[in-house]
């Protein structure tokens, strides 16, 4: 009975999410423009990429050890959205950006996103197929591999976005030694703690999933962010309600 109730609660959340996204999208089409709270990781994004481009350096982005056929697909899609935005900003650099992954299923998509970024800017002849790289099939080896890419390939900006664990400290340390700007977004708590100590900007919790809302002018992205905020308050309300009912002995 409880399982069935939870199933329907989950379904209600999904339906509510879709309706909220639609409602906010319609509001935005009507001219509504919400103000977003500043997030360090996104506020300095353009400056971070700009510095790398102007100094003739390379931008490195890792989409992590997560694949697009796993439980971490949501994180992988968020990382791919960030890659899309990064590639779009970095293609004008003399040195092509480098995107690394630790999962083979992400590799074709990573390569395709970079290729399309060059196509959009009408610079396809400058597309370098080896920009997308499968470094390893394991998160520890991926982090170890990034430590050699950063010094060997003149990386000036390091963006780590994916299901990284504490091993991301290896990659972050390599960036710190080169004194380059680094941003970390992970869905894992251990990596977020590492990012707080070792990188310039760390995205905590759901912040890594809202890159498009902050870095592009897409109304659908902002609508999704607002729907996410409303859902968060809904969850908080349910938690408080559950605690109250439990305290009053009404929930068994």
**Binding residues for another protein restricted to 212-231, rule: CB under 8 A:** 212, 220-221, 223-225, 227-228, 231
> Looking only at residues 72 through 131 of this chain, which bind another protein when binding is defined by CB under 8 A?
73-75, 77-78, 80-81, 84, 104-105, 107-109, 112-113, 116, 119-120, 129-130
CB of residue 54 to another protein, shortest distance in Å: 23
Closer by beta carbon to another protein, 19 or else 245: 19
Exposure string for 64-75, b = 16+ CB within 10 A, e = fewer: bbbbbeeebeeb
CA gap 121, 144 in Å, rounded: 33
Of residues 25-64, those binding another protein (CB under 8 A): none
Q: What are the structure tokens assigned to 207, written together?
A: 């912040």
Task: State in angstroms the smallest separation of the CB of 167 from another protein.
Answer: 6
Closest CA to 78 of 60, 99, 63, 61: 63
- Tokens describing residue 81: 């959205």
User: Looking at 137, 241, 244, 251, which residue binds another protein (CB under 8 A)?
Assistant: 137
Nearest distance from C-beta of residue 166 to another protein, angstroms: 6
Q: For 185, which DSSP code? A: E
Nearest to 158 by CA among 177, 140, 139, 130: 177
- Per CB under 8 A, the segment of 27-35, 51-59, 85-93, 133-141 that binds another protein is 133-141
Helix/strand/coil percentages in the chain, nearest 5: 60, 10, 25
Our CB check for another protein shows the closer of 51 and 70 to be 70
Q: Which helix (DSSP H) or strand (DSSP E) does residue 162 occupy?
A: strand 155-162
**Order of strands across the sheet with 98-101?**
132-134, 98-101, 58-62, 155-162, 181-186, 201-203
Least distance in angstroms from the C-beta of 30 to another protein: 18
- Could you tell me the smallest distance in angstroms from the CB atom of residue 245 to another protein? 19
Among residues 51 and 134, whose Cβ is nearest to another protein? 134
Q: Using the rule CB under 8 A, is 24 a contact of another protein? A: no
Within 183-212, the residues that bind another protein by CB under 8 A are 187, 189, 192, 194, 196-198, 204-210, 212
């Amino acid at each position: 009975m409880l399982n069935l109730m939870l199933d329907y609660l989950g379904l209600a959340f999904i339906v509510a999410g879709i309706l909220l996204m639609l409602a906010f999208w319609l509001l935005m089409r009507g001219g509504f423009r919400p103000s977003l709270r500043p997030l360090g990781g996104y506020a300095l994004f353009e400056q971070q990429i700009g510095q790398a481009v102007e100094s003739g350096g390379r931008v490195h982005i890792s989409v992590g050890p997560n694949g697009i056929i796993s439980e971490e697909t949501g994180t992988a899609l968020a990382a791919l959205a960030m890659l899309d935005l990064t590639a779009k900003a970095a293609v004008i650099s003399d040195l092509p950006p480098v995107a690394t992954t630790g999962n083979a299923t992400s590799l074709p998509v990573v390569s395709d996103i970079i290729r399309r970024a060059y196509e959009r800017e009408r610079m396809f002849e400058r597309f370098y197929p080896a920009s997308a790289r499968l470094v390893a099939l394991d998160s520890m080896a991926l982090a170890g591999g990034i430590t050699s890419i950063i010094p060997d390939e003149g990386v000036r900006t390091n963006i780590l976005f994916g299901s990284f664990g504490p091993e991301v400290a290896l990659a972050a340390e390599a960036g710190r030694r080169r004194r380059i700007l680094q941003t970390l977004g992970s869905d894992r708590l251990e990596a977020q703690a590492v990012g707080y100590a070792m990188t310039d900007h760390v995205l905590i919790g759901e912040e890594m999933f809202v890159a498009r809302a902050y870095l592009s002018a897409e109304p659908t992205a902002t609508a999704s962010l607002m729907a996410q905020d409303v859902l968060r308050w809904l969850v908080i309300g349910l938690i408080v309600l559950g605690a109250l009912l439990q305290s009053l002995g009404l929930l068994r």
